[in-house]
Amino acid sequence: MSGRLYAISTGPGASDLITVRAARILGKLDCLYAPAGRKGADSLALSIVRPWLSETTEVHTCHFPMSADNDAKAAVWDEVAGTLAREAQAGKQVGFITLGDAMLFSTWVWLLARLGRPDWLEIVPGVTSVLAIASAAALPLAMDQQSLAIVACNASEQHLRDTLERHDCVVMMKVYGRFPAIKALLQSCGVIDHAVMMAEATLPGERCWRDLSAVPDDEPLPYFSTILVNKQWDIRSESWNNS
């Protein structure tokens, strides 16, 4: 068997929301590389895949610094990409795991930019937290002719406002630490009755807020909190508003 590198998406949190393909690959790995260091996310990725790993798989963690020093970060990415390539080219079955989906807001893409698209690389897609939240909250992410935008709440207020005005559906990530400003923005854009907030979707600590007007500004929020807006869905009546 020739060596291969698999970038494996773990899905949003629950171990059984990984794909069958990912679970099968995890069971035949010689070694697994798991990122470590980002707040909560990384130990979560490893805990998701534990039930699927073979007992003989060597698990390595790689620490990606959060520092603002781009050279320091680039040096670590170079080193990890080099290690993954060497292991695969030496004939091993190598995995690298990423929370959610590997191609959406994931550290993996910095490694991809260094590896290119060699024959021995396979990227396995997964369920992003955004999709898991929509299912758990029973709020359609987008339908029919609707347009959808995904933004992080650390974008400028002007960009967030433009996005809320121009799109029917908006996913607002990274709410943590910014809830009062985001709540005020949703009110000012007239969409707060079409928004839900969810934290830790599919995990034991999952929480959903369906009436954001009633959530106090100082509500303690978990790190993984996301807001979904669908202007044509009425949260209270759980129904589609075509007008």
Q: With respect to a second copy, which residue has the nearer C-beta, 63 or 166?
A: 166
Closer by beta carbon to a second copy, 147 or else 188: 147
User: CB of residue 134 vs a second copy: minimum separation in angstroms?
Assistant: 4
Which lies closer to a second copy via its Cβ, residue 32 or residue 112?
Answer: 112
Q: In whole angstroms, how close is the CB of 135 to a second copy at the nearest point?
A: 4
Contact of 167 with 141, CB cutoff 8 Å: no
Q: Closest separation between CB of residue 19 and a second copy, Å?
A: 5
Q: 15 vs 89, which CB is nearer to a second copy?
A: 15
Contact residues: a second copy, CB under 8 A: 7, 9, 11-12, 14-21, 23-24, 101-106, 109-110, 112-113, 116-117, 121, 123-128, 131-132, 134-136, 138-145, 147-152, 154-155, 159, 162-163, 166-167, 238-240
Q: What's the chain's Rg over C-alpha atoms? A: 20
**C-alpha to C-alpha distance for 71 and 55, rounded to whole angstroms:** 37
- 216-221's contacts with Cβ under 8 Å and 24+ in sequence apart are 217/179, 217/180, 217/183, 219/179, 221/175, 221/176, 221/179, 221/197
The answer to whether 174 touches 199, Cβ cutoff 8 Å, is no
Task: State which residue, 74 or 217, has the beta carbon closest to a second copy.
Answer: 74
Q: Is 75 left (phi over 0), alpha (psi -120 to 50) or beta?
A: alpha
CB of 132 to a second copy, least distance (A): 5
Nearest to 5 by CA among 106, 127, 115: 115
Q: In terms of CB distance, is 136 or 203 closer to a second copy?
A: 136
Closest CA to 31 of 69, 9, 3, 10: 3
User: Cβ of residue 141: shortest distance to a second copy, in angstroms?
Assistant: 5
Question: What are residue 123's phi and psi, to 5 degrees?
Answer: -105, 125
Shortest Å distance, C-beta 25 to a second copy = 10
